[in-house]
Chain A
Amino acid sequence: AQKVTQAQTEISVVEKEDVTLDCVYETRDTTYYLFWYKQPPSGELVFLIRRNSFDEQNEISGRYSWNFQKSTSSFNFTITASQVVDSAVYFCALSEALNYGGSQGNLIFGKGTKLSVKP
């Protein structure tokens, strides 16, 4: 069965610190997709990144970087030099390819990690 675990419920850092949010997933499929979403205090869900299971290259976007390791079933998210505006709940999500075990490509979300960045 699909499962996403975000073991860190809450993290608090001081501005300019680096922080890594952990995500561990379970799936039977060889083709799957991983996502990160940000939910700021205003409540909307903002898409950050999508990664497919065949692409293990790490990705960097400004202060954000993602480390995908199939060997450990992890897709971790690092924020470098954190800022107060990074304060939010971050969700990791998994989707299997269509028709695997009846999957329709639905997103399975982790429970989220609440990041607080203090000035």
Chain B
Amino acid sequence: NAGVTQTPKFQVLKTGQSMTLQCAQDMNHNSMYWYRQDPGMGLRLIYYSASEGTTDKGEVPNGYNVSRLNKREFSLRLESAAPSQTSVYFCASSELMGLGTDTQYFGPGTRLTVL
């Protein structure tokens, strides 16, 4: 059981380049999330997918798009990277999103630098 996996682990981009961060979970979870972590800021939600086929904006969605490809996979795309998007990106998943709000389990993170 790998849990939540993310690729790549590290990435350096130039301003204006695009890239997609991949996330997959093998726990049969319904909900998936993308967060970014900046120094001294904790984690902030970018986008989430409550279930397959749905996506919604979180706290800091500008400059990002997402795709819930199937139940297992949730990708995050930067169309035109900016230095302000330099951060560590975490994907997470949870079994349920509902009245019994479930625990979110996190992937290992992707460290992205935009020059």
What residues make up the interface of A, taking CB atoms closer than 8 Å to B?
4, 9, 31, 33, 35, 37, 43-45, 47, 50, 91, 95-98, 104-107, 109-112
Residue-by-residue, is B80-115 near A (CB-CB < 8 Å gives 1, otherwise 0)? 000000001010101001110111111111010000
Bound-state CA distance A110–B41 (Å) is: 8
List, in ascending order, chain B residues with CB within 8 A of A31's CB.
Answer: 99
Are A109 and B97 in contact, with the CB atoms below 8 A?
Answer: no
With A110-B42, A111-B40 known to touch, is A97 a contact of B103 (CB < 8 Å)? no
Q: Per a CB cutoff under 8 Å, which of B43, B48, B58, B98 touches A98?
A: B98
Q: Contact: A47 with B103, CB < 8 Å?
A: yes
**CB of B45 closer than 8 Å to a CB of A:** yes
Given the known inter-chain contacts A43-B108, A104-B50, A107-B104, please indicate yes or no for A91 contacting B42, CB distance below 8 A.
Answer: yes
Given known contacts A95-B101, A98-B98, A111-B40, what 8 new A-B pairs fall within 8 Å (CB)?
Answer: A4-B42, A35-B103, A43-B108, A47-B104, A47-B106, A91-B43, A107-B104, A109-B43
Contact status B101-A45, CB under 8 Å: no
List which B34-87 residues lie within 8 A (CB) of chain A. 40-45, 48, 50, 56, 58
- Give Cα A88 to B77, complex, Å: 30
* Complexed CA–CA distance, A110 and B37 (Å): 11
Interface size class, chain B: 20 to 34
- Closest Cβ–Cβ distance, residue B43 to chain A (whole Å): 4
> Which residues from chain A contact B97 at a C-beta distance below 8 Å?
98, 104-105
Interface contact A106-B106, CB-CB below 8 Å = no
List the A side residues contacting B31 at CB < 8 Å: 105
- A33-B101 CB under 8 A given contacts A44-B109, A104-B56: yes
Known A109-B43, A111-B40; judge A50-B103 contact (CB<8 A): yes
A110 to chain B, nearest CB (A): 6
Q: How far is the CA of A4 from the CA of B56 in the complex (A)?
A: 22
Q: Which residues of B contact A104 (CB under 8 A)?
A: 48, 50, 56, 97
